[in-house]
Each structure stands twice: as structure tokens, then as C-alpha cells.
Chain A
Amino acid sequence: QQQVRQSPQSLTVWEGGTTVLTCSYEDSTFNYFPWYQQFPGEGPALLISILSVSDKKEDGRFTTFFNKREKKLSLHIIDSQPGDSATYFCAAMRNNNAPRFGAGTKLSVKP
């Protein structure tokens, strides 16, 4: 079931730094790529998402990049804050289906 690969498994960043998470996928029919943020004890919450017709989407400090040819996507968090410390999951899906999750990246932002 591992259709989406995510790295790194864990990451530590200093406050104010830039966080970069990456994912790759295999199924070329995937056309929607959400990123989820999960805090301990909670379910994953949608952070940002991108459709395969776009190559970049920005929302405040969060930007996701998509490369259809290489089947890769990334999440960039600028000016990382301690409150960003969480586990981040990339996912991929096609319409009328359910998201397939990557393995997750545990991010720790140190003050």
C-alpha cells in the first residue's frame, strides 16, 4: 500500500529557519495532493493542498510545490515556529477515492 513515499522521517529545525519536506508517488492518476498536520492526540488536519494542474500553492508561511513530470511534491515552511512542531503527512488521491498517506515527518522546531 506504500504508494506515497515521504522523507525525512524526522527533522529538527531552529526557530526562524526553513523546513522542507518531500514526497514522491508512483500512480500517475493521482491528481490532488494534500498535506496534513497532526498534533498528538488529534486527527490530521488539512494544512495546504494542490491540484496536479498547478506547480505551486502558497498559504502564508506554507508553500507546496508540485512536479508532475518527476512525480514529486514538497512542503516548505518559512520562519518555522515552535508551534509548528507536529507530524506532517503528505497524501495523494484522485477524485472519487480516498487519500493515500506518506509515512509522515515528525518536525521539531527548537526556540
Chain B
Amino acid sequence: GALVYQYPRRTICKSGTSMRMECQAVGFQATSVAWYRQSPQKTFELIALSTVNSAIKYEQNFTQEKFPISHPNLSFSSMTVLNAYLEDRGLYLCGARDYSYEQYFGPGTRLTVL
């Protein structure tokens, strides 16, 4: 079956430092990977969508300078939260899909910023 793993599951970083998180797709080809953030008491906000052979598209209020993403092959993606501050805390989800509509989600990386 199709599975998405995320690493780490939980992480703590000091304010002003950076944190890298990873997403691994197993059992299917992740032609597109979407990164989301779920802040406390909020829904999942789309950060960016990375599609093979296309430029990474960032949503309003999210930038490459703050959330650089790498999608080097059809099974792996990573995202870094640069210069993290309190407002960046939350659950970061990776959702990957192949050529179909169905999106498979990982369990998320929970980021705490001190």
C-alpha cells in the first residue's frame, strides 16, 4: 500500500534557529508533494506544492526564503523552517500523490519553538 513517512515526528528548536523535516513516500511515485502547517486551533494551511518538472509554488504568506523545499526524486521531499519563531510552531504535514487525485498524508512533524 501507499504510505508516507515523516521525520522527525517531534522537534524542539530555539527561537531564531532552523529546522529541517523530511517526507518519504513508499509504495507509489510522489509526483507532487504538498506541505501544510496546522497551527494551534487552526486548520491545515497549504504552504507550497512541489510537482515534478515544475517550479515549486508557494502560497500567499509563505516564501521560499522562509520555507525552502527540496523534491529531488519521486520518493523524497524535505522542507526547512528557517529562522523559526513562536508563530511557526505547529504540526507540519506532508501530503504526496501520484498521478491520481488521492493524496496520502504522513503523521506530521510537530515543531515547538522555545
Contact = CB atoms under 8 A, between A and B. Distances in A.
B43 A104 contact: yes
A28 interface: no
Contacts of B95: 98-99
Contacts of B103: 34, 46, 93, 98-99
Contacts of B104: 46
Nearest to B31: A96
Contacts of B106: 43
A103 B39 CA distance: 11
B51 A96 contact: yes
Do most interface residues of chain A lie in helix, strand or loop, or is the interface mixed? loop
Contact of B107 (A42, A89, A102): A42
Contacts of A51: 101
B73 interface: no
Contact of B101 (A49, A101, A102, A103): A49
A41 B42 CA distance: 16
A42 B110 CA distance: 11
Interface of B: 4, 6, 32, 34, 36, 42-46, 49, 51, 59-61, 93, 95, 101-108
9 contacts: A34-B103, A43-B105, A45-B105, A49-B101, A96-B32, A98-B49, A102-B43, A103-B42, A104-B43
